Each structure stands twice: as structure tokens, then as C-alpha cells.
């Protein structure tokens, strides 16, 4: 049986991002970090004070990860960068795709062994132009899944044995068997198929119980699926495109949701004043601490 969330998602930071994405809880700073890809911004929200800080990146940063050596690692433009959270300064780590390919980095996450995964997508909405890459601690880069169109995820089960991945254009969430030691994902198969239903799957995360959370692009909701793929919980969001979630707070029981204004016309933006904002809800389950990039 599908349940509705015990409380509504409410707006906690009215940033009006064009393409809010990549939320992650930085436990060291006790703040929620996310990006606005189109405006080339990194945002940091402190729930204890309500303070909101914006860093101008100068390039399209699409995903953030914690870095064991300090600061953040990020997917940005056509490669990977290090980020100083205090100054916002970006340091190039490695480029993976040049401007000729007309692609940019998109979603990403750190795996249980401290490798940072992020994928690319076409700037011109051309199918099959993207690749999911793995960045190792020695800064070597490995293409892992290709071709893809709009790469989102990945995310891992609590025991690290499963990897969830979304190519949004396919309207599916896929699951793969994952070898933590080797950093290899195999046996890709469908976990959830959105079919002709409302919305498309966007960013994906996993909670402490193995539940899989999916932001629904143009679906006014976030979905939680049980480990067997059954839809378990729907969190209504008062704007069309929920892009991704992250659990935060001291006990990781606050679910933060990034959203986007980009797909909305002028009338829809007026009707959905919270579009592009950061939302929060307490769904009654806790998240997993973010793994840290080892490089």
C-alpha cells in the first residue's frame, strides 16, 4: 500500500533556483549544501540559524561530495574540481570531456569506498551523448556506463551491494550489483519503470532502511520505494519539479528537497512561488551519513 507523507514538505529556503540540484548534508559544518546549475552557484543553508550563503562558482557545478582531506569535491562543467567551502575557490582536479562534445557534468555521489561518481549529459538534449564516470582517490577517471542521455545518481544500498542509477530519458530507475572493493557495477536491470505515469525520475538516494528516494521531475512529488521496488511513500511537493533529496540534521531525519524553476513558463512560476526553493519534511525514517571522497 502506498502512503502519503505524515507531513507536508515546507519551504525553508526561498532561493528560487533555476535548477536546484545536488543536495548533501555536510555533517562537519552541520549545513545543507546544494547547487543551482544554471546560475553557477553553490548554496549553503544552516538550519540552526536559518542563514543562507551563496558562493559564485563561475562554472556550472552540478554535484557536491564531502572530501576526507577537507572541503568538497564537485562535478563541474566538463570535469571534477575541489572546492574550498569558506572562499568558494575551485581547484581543477581532472577534465573528462572537452567543449567540443557539447556536454556538461550532471548528478553524482561518493560511493562506500570513497570514490566519486558523476555523469554527463548533452547540452543540446541529444540522446546517448552522456557517460557515467568514476573518479578514484588517485584522481584517475574511469568511464563506467555509456551511452546515457541524462545521468542521475548513483546511490548505494546500506550494505553497499547494490547501486541505483537513473538515466532520466528512459523513465526508469535501474539497479546494479555492486562490488565495493573493485568499484564495479554489473547486471543492470529495471528497479522502477515510470512508464507513461506523471513525471520522470531525477535524483536518487537511499535511506538507512534501504528505501530508495526519487525526485520526480514534473511530478510534484518525491517517491520512496521499498527495496523490492514497490512504491511505499509519496511526499507531495508544491512545485512541479523535485530534483533530488538529502537527509540532514543531527539525527539525519530531516529530508531536504531541491527543486527547479527552469521548466516553468511565466504563468506557472506565478502559480508556484516556491519553485526553485529548498523544502524540508520529516518522513519518519533516517538517512545514511554521506561517504567522503578519499582523494
The DSSP code for 288 is P
In whole angstroms, what separates CA 147 from the centre of its chain?
Answer: 20
The CA dihedral of 188, 94, 180, 187, to the nearest 10 degrees, is 10
In the residue annotation, 202 being an active-site residue is answered as yes
Parallel, antiparallel, or unpaired: how do β-strands 254-260 and 41-46 relate? unpaired
List all residues 6 or more positions away from 285 whose beta carbon is below 8 Å from its beta carbon.
207, 208, 209, 211, 224, 253
Asked whether the beta carbons of 119 and 151 are under 8 A apart, the reply is: yes
Task: Please give the Cα distance from 279 to 133 (Å, whole number).
Answer: 29
Q: Are 213 and 245 in contact (CB under 8 A)?
A: yes
- In terms of residues, how long is the chain? 295
Euclidean distance between CA atoms 134 and 139, whole angstroms: 9
**Could you give the 3-state DSSP secondary structure of residue 119?**
strand
Burial class of residue 270 (count of CB atoms within 10 Å of its CB; 0-12, 13-18, 19+): exposed
Q: Select which of 36, 107, 202, 254 is catalytic.
A: 202
Contacts of 191 (CB under 8 A, 6+ apart): 164, 172, 173, 174, 175, 212, 225, 229
C-alpha to C-alpha distances, 52 to 34, 63, 222, nearest whole angstrom: 11, 18, 24
Catalytic residues: 202
Amino acid at each position: 500500500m502506498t502512503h502519503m507523507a505524515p507531513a507536508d514538505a515546507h519551504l525553508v529556503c526561498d532561493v528560487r533556483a533555476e535548477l536546484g540540484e545536488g543536495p548533501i548534508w555536510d555533517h562537519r559544518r552541520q549545513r545543507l549544501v546544494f547547487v543551482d546549475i544554471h546560475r553557477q552557484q553553490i548554496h549553503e543553508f544552516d538550519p540552526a540559524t536559518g542563514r543562507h550563503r551563496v558562493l559564485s562558482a563561475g562554472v556550472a557545478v552540478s554535484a557536491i561530495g564531502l572530501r576526507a582531506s577537507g572541503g568538497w569535491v564537485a562535478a563541474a562543467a566538463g570535469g571534477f574540481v575541489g572546492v574550498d567551502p569558506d572562499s568558494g575557490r575551485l581547484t581543477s582536479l581532472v577534465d573528462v570531456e572537452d567543449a567540443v562534445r557539447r556536454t556538461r557534468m550532471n548528478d553524482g555521489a561518493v560511493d562506500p569506498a570513497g570514490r566519486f561518481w558523476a555523469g554527463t549529459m548533452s547540452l543540446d538534449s541529444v540522446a546517448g551523448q552522456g557517460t557515467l564516470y568514476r573518479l578514484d582517490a588517485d584522481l584517475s577517471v574511469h568511464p563506467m556506463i555509456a551511452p546515457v542521455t541524462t545521468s542521475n545518481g548513483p546511490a548505494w544500498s546500506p550494505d553497499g551491494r547494490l547501486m541505483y542509477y537513473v538515466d532520466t530519458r528512459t523513465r526508469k530507475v535501474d539497479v546494479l550489483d555492486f562490488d565495493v572493493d573493485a568499484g564495479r557495477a554489473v547486471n543492470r536491470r529495471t528497479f522502477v519503470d515510470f512508464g507513461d505515469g506523471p513525471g520522470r525520475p531525477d535524483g536518487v538516494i537511499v535511506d538507512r532502511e534501504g528505501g530508495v528516494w526519487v525526485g520526480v521531475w514534473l511530478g510534484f512529488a518525491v517517491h520512496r520505494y521499498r527495496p523490492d521496488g514497490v512504491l511505499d511513500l509519496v511526499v507531495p511537493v508544491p512545485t512541479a519539479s523535485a530534483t533530488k533529496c538529502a537527509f540532514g540534521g543531527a539525527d539525519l531525519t530531516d529530508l531536504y528537497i531541491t527543486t527547479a524553476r527552469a521548466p516553468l513558463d511565466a504563468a506557472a512560476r506565478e502559480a508556484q512561488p516556491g519553485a526553485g526553493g529548498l523544502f524540508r519534511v520529516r518522513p519518519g525514517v533516517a538517512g545514511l551519513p554521506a561517504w567522503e571522497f578519499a582523494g
